[in-house]
Structure formats: C-alpha cells, structure tokens
Structure 1
Amino acid sequence: MKVLITGASGFVGSALMKEVQQAGHEVIAASRSGEAPPGLKGLKLDVTSADETLKAITAAEPEAIIHLVGIIRETRNQTFQKVHVEGTANVLKAAKELQARFIHMSALGAQTGHRSRYFDSKGQAEELVKNSGLTYTIFQPSLIFGPGDDFFGNVLKELVTAAPVVPVIGKGDFPFRPVWIGDVAAAFTQALLNPRTEQQTLQLVGPKEYTFQELLNLELHALKRRKPMFHVPLPLMDLAVPMMQVLPNPPITRDQYLMLKAGNTGDPAPATRILNLRMDHLEHWLPRILKA
C-alpha cells in the first residue's frame, strides 16, 4: 500500500515511517521541508495551504493518508485553528479526491467547546474526519514517551533540575497514563489493514496511571537526584498563569495549564482488544529518554 504520512519529520512521524516501511508499505514522507530518510520518497507539504495540499497529495496518489500534523504552542502564524482545523480540512479534501484510507492523530481529551483551544481545535478536526465520508480511524494518544520526546526528555527534566526545589501545581494529583511511542507507531500501522479499526475513535494510553507528582518523582529517580517539592496552591497559579502570558515565551501557556489541571488518562482496553500492542512501561524507557 502507498502510504502518505503528514508531519513525517516530527517525533511520532519519525518512528511511524520506520514501522510502516517495515510492514512492507511504500512510504511518502510529507513535511514542510520535504526531506526524507534514505530510501523513502519525500514530499514538501504545508497543510495550511489549501491549494498546495490538494495539488501535492493528489499528484502523489497515496492509497492511505496518516495525518499527524499538530502543534502544542501557538505562534503568530501557526494557530491551533489554522493548523489543526483548517489543515485537517485541506488534507481531507485531497483524501476525498483519491478516496484514500484516512488515519488521523487527534489527542486524548479532544472535545469541541473545550476551554482549552488546543482540545477544542482537536475536537473540531475530529468532527471533520467523521463527517468526511471516508473510511477513517481516529487515534487519541495521551502523553507519548520515547527517546527524543519533548515532555519527558525536556519539559519535566527542566522542571526538576532548574531550581533547588521542584514546583508542584496544587496537590499534584492530576492523573496521566503515558503511552510508549512504539505502541503508537504500531497502532497506526496496524490500522492500515485492520478492518476492526474502521470508523473507530480509539484512545491510546499506557498500562499504568500516574499522578503528576509521581511523574516528577520518576524523573528525579531516573536522574539520580533528590530534591524537596514545593506545592504551589491552585488559586495562586490561577492568578499567575494569565500574567505570564505577557512574556515572549511563557514557562506555561494558558492552554497547557488548563490541560494539566484536567489530567490526561483513559481506558487502554478498547484499543488493546483490537490491536496487538506491547504496552511498554514508562519506567523501562525513562533512563534512556533522559540520556537522549
């Protein structure tokens, strides 16, 4: 099968390209740069450009499209609405021209009308996919961990190493169920030929749930450090976060704060009933992630 992967140069895309190729499929690596690993065909693609997207994808003639493009922080030119909603609409238009199988990466917690613009935009994109008339699968991954990830390898690492004490928002009891990048790549790849995934929205979460404070403790343990934790009351954070937004690069955005307080957990059973996943544990990978 000829498979086009948007956002192929990203963390998930890089792992997914290898998995899809090893499964025997022909891979077209679409990204803003158009670069591709040796042996793969690259395609320069900006999904926020409607004309470019339609022309480039239809010319490539994929039988399936795996749409991964997404952003965590907004910039002046790259907003959640423009990338997640308009970008998905542009890719779907090309997919409909080709009647291509469509596999979409959303996010656990996606919901239209959510206070978080990130989750709201992801929810809007899901509705576009569901109403496209295409054969689709939507995956909603939780925090994805693996060598090269940004959250465990960068954000949490910085949080536990930057100061003499580790700041914890509120009680630190927000629940999370991180999922291994290998399981995410396997799920997307298996969905290409698994009819049981068609017209399904599946949560991709790991085998174990952690509180936010437990994740901080795991980071400290993997780094072989011991530090006291300082709990910042939620009312104080509710006041401080909006004030931080005047900074050019705030340490936490309004959307990130809303998503943190909401937690990010789900039920692994539906996906594991349909897909053959290893369900690897965070503790197994964290030392390697922090060395990457």
Structure 2
Amino acid sequence: MRVLVVGGTGFVGRHLVALLLQRGHTPLVLSRTPRHLPPGAVHLPGDITREVPDLGGVEAGIYLAGIIRERGQTFHQVHVEGVRNLLQGLERAGVKRVLHMSALGARRGTGSRYYETKAEAEELVRESGLSYAIFRPSLIFGPGDEFFGQVLRGLICGPWPFVPLIGDGRFPFRPVYVGDVAEAFAQALERVLEGTFDLVGPKEYTFRELLELCQGILGRKKPFLSVPLWLTDLAVPLLSRLPFAPLTRDQYLMLKEGNTAPFPEALRDLLPAPKALEEVLPTYLRCSGALPS
C-alpha cells in the first residue's frame, strides 16, 4: 500500500516508517527535508501547513505531525491547519482513509493550546467523511523521547542537590512505548480499524513514581524538594518564555492534570503485550554527556 505519512521524520514517524517498510508498504513521507528516511521510503518535499502536493496514487494518509513548543510554528498551524490541508488533499485525490495521532486528554476548554488544537483537529477528521482512526497516546517513551530523556533526566541530573517535585507529585500517567504506538497505526491501517482510541501502556504511575524509577535507573539518590503548586503556577508562565525553559506552560498544565486512561479493549488484539517502562527505559536513560538539544 502507498501510504502518505506526514511527520514521518519525527520521533514516532521514524518508527512507523520503518515498520511500514518491514510490512511491505511504501511510505511517502511529506516533509521539508529528507532526514532520517530509510531506504525504500519516498520523500515528498513540502510543508503541510502551507500546501499539499499532488497525492495521486496514494491509498491512505497518516498524520503524525505535532509540536510541544511553539518555535517558528504555532500549535494551530501544525495541529489544525496541517490536518485541514491534508484532508483537502486526500479528498482531491479520492483517498478514502486517514489515520490521525491526537493526544490523550485532548479536548476543548482546558486552557492548554496544545490540547485544544489537538481537539479541533479531531473534529476536522471526524467531519471529513473519510474512513478514519484517531489514536490518543499518553506520554510516549523510547530512545529519543523528550519527557523521559530530557525533562526528567534534566531534573535528576542537574547540578542542584535535590530533585524538584511539583506539588505532591501524585499526578497519574500511563506511558506507552513508541514501538507500540507505531504498531497500533500499522495494524489499524491493515485492519481498517475505525474510531477514536486512547493509547496507553500496561501500567499507571504517579509523577513521583516516575521520578523514583528514573533515579533508580540513573543511580542517583537526591532528595525530593516539593514545590507548592501556587508557586509553580506563578513561576512556570514566566520561565517558559525563556528559549531553553525545561518546562513550557502547556507542558505544565498537562502535567498537573495527569495523563492516564484504561487500556481499551478494542486494542487488545492489536497490542496483546505492550512493553513496560521498566523494560525499555534502562536501555537509553543516562546522565553522562550533555543533554540533547
């Protein structure tokens, strides 16, 4: 199957493109540069937030593009305008099938521009008239991830003698492995799975438990310093304006809310044995060297 993949050079996209190739599909990756593309993938130069090239011969579209920080592009451009452009391009080409990556917790009225633009994109997909599957992953972990590999590692491996803990750290999460996210998309493509699905891992953790797990893997034993929510509510909006802020305003709002859901029964056949965080995190979490840029 010839599959258009938007966001195929990103964190999830690289795993999905490789998996599609393994399964005999031809991924056509729409991106501004051909970086990270393996042999067999076809590069379509372009910017989905501006226009869509001719999609003749494409049999399905997958939209993975997303940002967590607004650097040169806005949430609305990437999460909404890009999806709208893709849907219009698919309609012009007569393509009937689209898969979309949203986010667990996406909905209107949250105060998070990330969540609200993801929710707006979901509405566009549902109203498109196309056959669709929408996946809403929780925190995605794996080599190259931002949350575990950068945010949590930065909190633990920083020069200070403590680990900052936001509030009591009881916010719940159910992280999902990037390979399982890619597998869900590939299976949904082949089985023509329909609907909207939360995509989570096999186990739930509090934020404090995630920090404790990471500390154990990194061999650090720093004490936690609880930072009251009222103080972080004041500090994060100010600090997030800095170019290298460890936590953006939207990340903070999502962190306080937590990010968890039951594992959906509809995905049991697709992911019968989702990988646990403890199985994968030790393979790539390290304190040595500089933090990734």
TM-score where L is the length of structure 2: 0.93
**1:246, distance to aligned residue in structure 2 (A):** 4.1
Q: Is 2:95 aligned against 1:99?
A: yes
Match of 2:38 in 1: 37
1:224-264 Cα distance to aligned partner (Å, 9 max, x none): 11110000011111111222244333332211111000100
Q: Residue 138 of structure 1 aligns to a residue in which SS?
A: strand
**Which piece of structure 1 moves more, 249-258 or 141-150?**
249-258
**1:57, distance to aligned residue in structure 2 (A):** 4.4
1:136-175 equivalences under 5 Å are 136-162=132-158, 163-175=160-172
Query: Between Structure 1 and Structure 2, which shows a larger proportion of helix residues?
Result: 1
Structure 2 residue aligned with 1:179, among 160, 171, 176? 176
Match of 1:58 in 2: 55
Equivalent pairs: percent with the same residue? 53
List alignment gaps of at least 5 residues for structure 1. Answer: none
Q: Residue 43 of structure 2 aligns to a residue in which SS?
A: strand
**Which piece of structure 1 moves more, 95-104 or 218-227?**
95-104
Q: Is 2:193 aligned against 1:192?
A: no
Match of 1:15 in 2: 15
TM-score where L is the length of structure 1: 0.93
List alignment gaps of at least 5 residues for structure 2. Answer: 287-291
1:186-227 Cα distance to aligned partner (Å, 9 max, x none): 1000001213x21x0001100000000100011110111111
**1:274, distance to aligned residue in structure 2 (A):** 4.7
Distance 2:226 2:104 in 1: 26
Distance 1:122 1:270 in 2: 23
**1:80, distance to aligned residue in structure 2 (A):** 0.5
Alpha carbons of structure 1 residues 57 and 221: separation in structure 2 relative to 1, 3 Å: farther
Distance 1:271 1:155 in 2: 32
The 8 Å contact of residues 138 and 201 in structure 1, kept in 2 or not, is answered as: yes
Q: Is 2:269 aligned against 1:268?
A: no
Structure 2 residue aligned with 1:74, among 70, 92, 111? 70
Distance 1:270 1:117 in 2: 30
**Which piece of structure 1 moves more, 129-138 or 280-289?**
280-289
The 8 Å contact of residues 70 and 83 in structure 1, kept in 2 or not, is answered as: yes
Aligned residues: 284
